């Protein structure tokens, strides 16, 4: 199967991004993955991916500019807290498991959150272009 094209979605707490992306995925036959929900699921279920993620967790301060309830635990399970190769391996596994041959596009939401980091050192360590290049190299063209 050819590498899919990737559409990265910025998660805005003020908007119902999860529902919108899920509906778009259904309507246009795209696989939708919410990264922090996937991370949360694997950590809570104590899978091998979840254990690998917990082993690499480095909590970082994040700026959240909304009063909306964090119902899925984005603050705790954001990809910025975990080792990028471990997150990419989890995404590759989820894509291999759930992607249908007819799905040419994948909506990935909540992956590139480095701009929400509070510390300048963290922002330099996790640069957006590095995340984009990693996605293109390992998953598909953005």
Does the structure show a pLDDT above 90 at 87?
A: yes
Q: How confident is the model at residue 86 (pLDDT cuts 50, 70, 90)?
A: very high
Quick one: 73 exposed, middle or buried, by C-beta within 10 A (0-12, 13-18, 19+)? middle
**Greater pLDDT, 22 or 68:** 22
CB-CB contact of 66 with 116 (8 Å): no
**Residues 34, 102: Cα–Cα separation, whole Å:** 20
Does the structure show a pLDDT above 60 at 67?
A: no
**Residues 98, 46: Cα–Cα separation, whole Å:** 20
Reported as a single tens digit per residue, the pLDDT across 45-61 is 999 999 999 999 988 77
- Angle between the 84-98 and 48-56 helix axes, to the nearest 10 degrees? 160
Q: How confident is the model at residue 122 (pLDDT cuts 50, 70, 90)?
A: low
The pLDDT value given to residue 72: 62
Q: What is the pTM of this model?
A: 0.82
The pLDDT value given to residue 136: 87
**Residues 47, 29: Cα–Cα separation, whole Å:** 28
């Amino acid at each position: 199967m050819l590498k899919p094209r990737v559409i990265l979605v910025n998660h805005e707490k003020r908007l119902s991004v999860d529902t919108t992306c899920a509906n778009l995925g259904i309507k246009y036959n795209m696989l939708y993955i919410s990264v922090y929900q996937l991370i949360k699921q694997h950590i809570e279920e104590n899978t091998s991916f979840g254990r690998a993620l917990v082993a690499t967790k480095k909590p970082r301060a994040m700026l959240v500019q909304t009063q909306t309830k964090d119902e899925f635990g984005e603050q705790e399970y954001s990809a910025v807290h975990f080792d990028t190769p471990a997150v990419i391996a989890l995404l590759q596994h989820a894509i291999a498991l759930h992607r249908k041959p007819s799905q040419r596009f994948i909506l990935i939401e909540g992956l590139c959150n480095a701009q929400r980091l509070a510390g300048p050192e963290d922002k330099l360590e996790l640069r957006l272009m590095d995340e984009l290049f990693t996605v293109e190299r390992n998953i598909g063209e953005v």
